Amino acid sequence: MSLQIDPNLFSNNTKEVQSTQTAPTVHSKAELDVMRKADTKVNFQGDIYTYSGVSFKQMSREDLLEEEIDYNSLNLTQNFTTQESEDKRLVVAFRDPQDPSKVMAYKLDREVVEELQSSFSKNDFFQREDGILRLNGNAEEYIASWVLDIKKNRGYEQADKNADGVINTEEQGELSVGFKVYSEYEYLAKKIVTAQSSVEKNYQKLSELGEVAQGDPLYQKQKLHFENSVEKELGHTVMLDADKDGVVTLKEGLEDFIPEDKTLEESFAAQVSQKHLAWIEKLQIKLDLNTLEHKDLTAKLPDEEEEEEKFKIDTYEEQLTLV
């Protein structure tokens, strides 16, 4: 499908618009009328994180009762939440995915534990008398697999140069929590018919992505929210993985940026529409009212690049004004 741009906008042929010219699909009047009235169809494809599969032999109740765990040797963190007077997190223990002969533990927020308990069998949770919640079965493998992914694939273990358990601002660049997406949409004049974003590469180092702005629109995101320790990132990941299948999809990850009273789809469509209208206004695009056309959101036209900041959405609240 083609982009129709007035060639007179570019004088002396010093600036040329690079685009692939393909014949637009012909639609009937009835089909076009349906497109104009329908909501924008939004699609997300690809995965951000995939856990590293860990397999343990399930422990019997007798094994769990006889298991000795030295509470003091677990090296548990102190409370990270300075606004609370007491640490309300729960100690969750499981076998170390890097050395199954050892037991490790993290403190997880109660909502994270409740999310796990609602997703796995009650037999996967053994409450010890010392207060430790010992995981078993599928729940143990699930958590251990995410820990291994965070430490190795996302690079938290290697990035923590001073081995203090916290990723500081100087160490963040080594985290492989970035990704690259391809975003595009179809439009019928000013109407956005379809909009989609797909992951091209994941587990990219933040230092290799260039400038990553927190206020970037959804179709330009290069990273999700991330935490500064394995422990906190584990809890965050459990909440992101809505269906507990061991994969955080692009759609699940982007939900983290949407307020509770909005949907991801309508927010995404609104941002694309705002970008589309700004593009039309700036370049005075001649619209074909009866042709469905396509635009690549990741490509920049010469004049768009020069004044990109003029039309960039400055804050997240402004991005949602058209919803």
Question: Within this chain, do residues 145 and 221 fall inside the same structural domain, yes or no?
Answer: no
Domain assignment present for 101: yes
Q: Is pLDDT of 272 > 90?
A: yes
Question: Within this chain, do residues 315 and 182 fall inside the same structural domain, yes or no?
Answer: yes
Residue finishing a domain among 124, 159, 194: 159
Query: What is the pLDDT averaged over residues 234-258?
Result: 97
Question: Within this chain, do residues 67 and 37 fall inside the same structural domain, yes or no?
Answer: no
**Confidence bin at 215 (pLDDT 50/70/90):** confident
Query: What is the pLDDT averaged over residues 71-81?
Result: 79
Nearest to 233, CA basis, from 160, 130, 180: 160
Answer left, alpha or beta for residue 36, where phi above 0 means left and psi between -120 and 50 means alpha: alpha
State the residue range of the domain holding 150: 52-159
Q: Is pLDDT of 123 > 80?
A: yes
Domain assignment present for 203: yes
Q: What is the pLDDT of residue 78?
A: 74
Taking the model in full, what pTM does it have? Answer: 0.84
- Reported as half-sphere exposure (CB side, CA atoms, 13 A), residue 14 has a value of 3
CA distance 5 to 10: 10
Query: What is the pLDDT averaged over residues 106-131?
Result: 97
Domain assignment present for 84: yes
Q: Is pLDDT of 36 > 70?
A: yes
Tokens (6 digits) for 236: 């965050």
Domain assignment present for 165: no
Query: What is the pLDDT averaged over residues 88-94?
Result: 95
At residue 263, the 3 state secondary structure works out as coil
Question: Within this chain, do residues 191 and 131 fall inside the same structural domain, yes or no?
Answer: no
Structural domain total, the chain: 2
Question: Within this chain, do residues 289 and 233 fall inside the same structural domain, yes or no?
Answer: yes
Tokens (6 digits) for 121: 């069998």
Question: Within this chain, do residues 312 and 219 fall inside the same structural domain, yes or no?
Answer: yes
At residue 98, the 3 state secondary structure works out as coil
